Structure 1
Amino acid sequence: MLDNTMAGTGARKQRTPLNRSQIAGFWGAWAGWTLDGMDSFIYALVLAPALTELLPKSGYAATPGNIGLAGSILFALFLVGWGLSFIWGPIADRFGRTRVLAATIFIFAIFTGLAATAQSVWSLAIYRLIAGIGIGGEWALAGTYVAEAWPEDRRKMGAGYLQTGYYAGFFLAAALNYTIGAHFGWRAMFLTGAVPVVVSILVLLRVKETDKWQRAEKSAVVQHAKPLREIFSARYARRTLVAAALLTVAIIGLWAGAVYEPAAVIHLALKAGMAKVDAVKTASIATAILSIGTILGCLALPPMAERIGRRKTLAVYFLGMAVSIAVSFGWAFYLPNGLVPFIALLFVLGFFGGNFALFSLWLPEQFETRVRATAFAFCTSAGRFIGAGVNFALGAMVLHMKTLGVPVALTAIVFVLGLLIIPLAPETKGNELPN
């Protein structure tokens, strides 16, 4: 993936070779993002068994309604933690990318591991809140690092490569759930989330700080910058707010589709007559299919963005998300034998879910080095607060309507609204990363 690939039609042009530090830095960021995705999706996979055990210990009956409502509240708290992760941006703009990246990985790993010790819903909620703060910062810092560290002729594909990590993490979580989770339970699954501690140490010891940030730091620009204030200055305010709005759309769609996907598959599998253990394994297989589709969507996106531009590419992916969510949850979910069509549509939903790769490519192009991490962290975090509210509302709708499909299918409307926002964003096709 990281070899000196050729580009161009006719005469083939060799791209700038990557040095050892750039390669090590990429793999450190990719591994952190992969384990981040694994950690995020572990919760969706172990939600039902964890709450079935912890609700009675907390004084509540483990009814399907209570499990659904408590799961939505806990996930909303997790998203609030993600939203609070915007604090990492100004810290990284002041003290550098690699040390702060290592800190985010360390925090989400430690508190995911601690979730395995939870004895009540309340302790699990606290651990997930703090883990969310760490997880939310990893994307902003990994994306900023790769954009700044890689050569200009490679950084666009680097964004696509990086984003595959998050969905490789989904695949890894599904594989772990199929093996460890199915045999050793939900606590063992959370313990596997402590593994990224090793990655954080390697990032801290082996990855060199980006030259762009070092030059800015030496010129005293970084020391005197007030990045959080500057991204709302007249120069940056519009692009900050538009990017945050577009990411809000993407986040709502991701979590509506991905978080409720295992529960939907288990429901359809049980309806088809499968035993519970086989239904759980089927959900893991479906998650792997969703992840493979998303990885392919991430890899297809950068060449498309280079050919037709950032805005048109996002419009294609948003339209694909709207259609696939509406059809999978609004139609296939209610078919008499809907399991196979639903799982097949998950591949399509996953492909267009690769829209997140565009933000790893596009956001760094819109902001200068002294405020880049702050802008990236704010834009990726702001939507999570709204996403938390939408997730809570979805849980309430599922409880009220006594069905999962229609409430999730309605989130397709959000992507239609996103199509109306895209023209307000700047088109940066052909632009170099600003210093």
Structure 2
Amino acid sequence: MNTLTDRRAVARQRTPLNRSQIAGFWGAWAGWTLDGMDSFIYALVLTPALTELLPRSGFAATPSNVGLAGSILFALFLVGWGLSFIWGPLADRFGRTKVLAATIFTFAIFTGLAATSTNVWQLGVYRFIAGVGIGGEWALAGTYVAEAWPEDRRKMGAGYLQTGYYAGFFLAAALNYTIGVHFGWRAMFLTGAVPVVVAILILLRVKEPEKWQKADAKTVRVKPLREIMGPAYRRRTWVACILLTIAIIGLWAGAVYEPSAVIQLATRAGMSKGDSMRMASLATGLLSIGTILGCLALPPMAERIGRKMTLAVYFAGMAVAIAASFGWAFYLPNGLAPFIAWLFVLGFFGGNFALFSLWLPEQFETRVRATAFAFCTSFGRFVGAGVNFLLGAAVLHMQTLGVPVALTALAFVLGLFVIPFAPETKGETLPQ
């Protein structure tokens, strides 16, 4: 009884958040939400956009060409994500909030411009530059929340923050269910320009974290990228890169190909084109709800059993869910319902990204934290771009979507052998 009372007392005594910390969190969360929305818009409008643009670019809009062009354009988008590591050193030098606003402004403007595309080349350029902006938002939002929130709140703050990206998936699905179905793919891209407002609010209302201000005042200028590759950080940098690469492969294999898989299964079940698109939107919403729950469940688990064991549980869950959904349910005669059921499980364990928002800031000091976060996430995106291209080629060669995506489950099995080499930071405070 006393133990329960003590726990409640500790919960009541948590450090209160000030106005700037609250505004900063909601600004970062909203940016991350709209980032997720912008990212997933492409997956939802891929088929209608390329069906219109390929003939204007001199190519027939066959299912094979749509699949191949979609994979190439998405690979370009991921390369843009990879180049987003440039934002990390800028944030370590000039501040978290200014550069965070710049990333949001970049991806919002160029997502909106994608609505004006008249051929696939223009769409590719706009998505590439949007990717540069989108890729930087996570590193800077995660760094900001870790540094701005009190020590007794920042771990749960990482879980709250990560829900934003998948709330963005849900928002994109809702927009596609309403705007996309009735007004088409160009209207969907135009909605992606809305985050400009969030960027302006962040610039006007959010202060820099005190940790960064103190570190900036006393830090002798170093080259942060060189430092995270030096003896002190080299091992944890590369281990984090590998683990994030695995997580990114799983995210994009499952999430990006999920709408196409649902549309195929719904069509096979006799649904009309419009009903199939709506079913894909509903399935995406369910996937998003599962992931949000996974993000919220993760921080308490990480505090109880440690960072490494928590990631192992989530990676094992991803391996099973990807194999069961794309490798088994996708090929059932009436596979739509079991496939969608497994999507919820896939979504829950896809919440493993919340661990990186919590764990990466704990592994690096303030003067190099944003650079390390941005580099590790960007490395994974470069590899993810290559894997996505190979997946597209495999789908084209095998004439099926399920097996190539199901094989990405092997990456998570590999990850289970890499996790022991990462540092365990449970119980440690954020390094200054």
TM-score by structure 2 length? Answer: 0.98
Q: Structure 2: which amino acid aligns with 1:400?
A: H
Cα displacement string for residues 318-370 of structure 1 (whole angstroms, at most 9, x for unaligned residues): 00000000000000000000000000110000000000000000000000000
Q: Structure 1: which amino acid aligns with 2:180?
A: G
Which residue number in structure 2 is paired with residue 83 of structure 1?
A: 82
Q: Structure 1: which amino acid aligns with 2:112?
A: G
Whether contact under 8 Å (1:171, 1:292) holds in the other structure is: yes
Which residue number in structure 2 is paired with residue 234 of structure 1?
A: 231
Cα displacement string for residues 101-138 of structure 1 (whole angstroms, at most 9, x for unaligned residues): 00000000000000000000000000000000000000
2:408 is the alignment partner of 1:390:
no
Q: Structure 2: which amino acid aligns with 1:52?
A: T
Q: Distance in 2 between matches of 1:355 and 1:347?
A: 14
SS at match of 1:224: coil
2:14 is the alignment partner of 1:13:
no
SS at match of 1:13: helix
Shift in Å, 1:388: 0.3
Q: Distance in 2 between matches of 1:318 and 1:180?
A: 35
* Structure 2: 5+ residue stretches without partners: none
Which residue number in structure 2 is paired with residue 251 of structure 1?
A: 248
Cα displacement string for residues 278-314 of structure 1 (whole angstroms, at most 9, x for unaligned residues): 0000000000000000000000000000000000000
Q: Would the alpha carbon gap of residues 191 and 151 (structure 1) be closer, same or farther in structure 2, given more than 3 Å must change?
A: same
Q: Structure 1: which amino acid aligns with 2:409?
A: A
> 1:94-113 maps to which residues of 2 (within 5 A)?
94-113=93-112
Q: Distance in 1 between matches of 2:272 and 2:11?
A: 55
Which residue number in structure 1 is paired with residue 161 of structure 2?
A: 162
Which residue number in structure 2 is paired with residue 362 of structure 1?
A: 359
Q: Distance in 2 between matches of 1:167 and 1:8?
A: 35
> 1:409-428 maps to which residues of 2 (within 5 A)?
409-428=406-425
Q: Distance in 2 between matches of 1:102 and 1:216?
A: 21
Whether contact under 8 Å (1:44, 1:262) holds in the other structure is: yes
Q: Distance in 2 between matches of 1:8 and 1:323?
A: 39
Runs of 4+ in 1 over 6 A off after TM superposition: none
Which residue number in structure 1 is paired with residue 293 of structure 2?
A: 296
Q: Would the alpha carbon gap of residues 396 and 434 (structure 1) be closer, same or farther in structure 2, given more than 3 Å must change?
A: same
Q: Distance in 1 between matches of 2:423 and 2:373?
A: 15
Q: Distance in 1 between matches of 2:345 and 2:221?
A: 47
Q: Distance in 2 between matches of 1:264 and 1:420?
A: 30
Which residue number in structure 2 is paired with residue 318 of structure 1?
A: 315
Q: Distance in 2 between matches of 1:98 and 1:8?
A: 37
Shift in Å, 1:394: 0.3
2:265 is the alignment partner of 1:265:
no
Q: Structure 2: which amino acid aligns with 1:178?
A: Y
2:60 is the alignment partner of 1:61:
yes
Q: Would the alpha carbon gap of residues 409 and 8 (structure 1) be closer, same or farther in structure 2, given more than 3 Å must change?
A: farther
How many equivalent pairs are there? Answer: 428
Shift in Å, 1:253: 0.2
Which residue number in structure 1 is paired with residue 131 of structure 2?
A: 132
Q: Structure 2: which amino acid aligns with 1:373?
A: A
Q: Structure 1: which amino acid aligns with 2:274?
A: V
Q: Structure 2: which amino acid aligns with 1:55?
A: L
Quote the sequence identity (%). 82
Shift in Å, 1:407: 0.3
Which residue number in structure 2 is paired with residue 379 of structure 1?
A: 376
Whether contact under 8 Å (1:7, 1:13) holds in the other structure is: no
2:152 is the alignment partner of 1:149:
no
Shift in Å, 1:12: 4.9
2:353 is the alignment partner of 1:344:
no
Cα displacement string for residues 3-52 of structure 1 (whole angstroms, at most 9, x for unaligned residues): xxx99646553211000000000000000000000000000000000000
Q: Structure 2: which amino acid aligns with 1:76?
A: A
Whether contact under 8 Å (1:55, 1:62) holds in the other structure is: yes
The structure 2 residue matched to 1:309, chosen from 283, 306, 310, is 306
Q: Distance in 2 between matches of 1:164 and 1:7?
A: 30
Q: Distance in 1 between matches of 2:41 and 2:243?
A: 26
Q: Would the alpha carbon gap of residues 41 and 10 (structure 1) be closer, same or farther in structure 2, given more than 3 Å must change?
A: closer
Which residue number in structure 2 is paired with residue 50 of structure 1?
A: 49
Q: Distance in 2 between matches of 1:7 and 1:236?
A: 41
Q: Distance in 2 between matches of 1:361 and 1:303?
A: 11
* Structure 1: 5+ residue stretches without partners: 1-5
Which residue number in structure 1 is paired with residue 284 of structure 2?
A: 287
Shift in Å, 1:217: 1.3
Q: How large is the Cα RMSD of the aligned pairs?
A: 1.0
Shift in Å, 1:216: 1.1
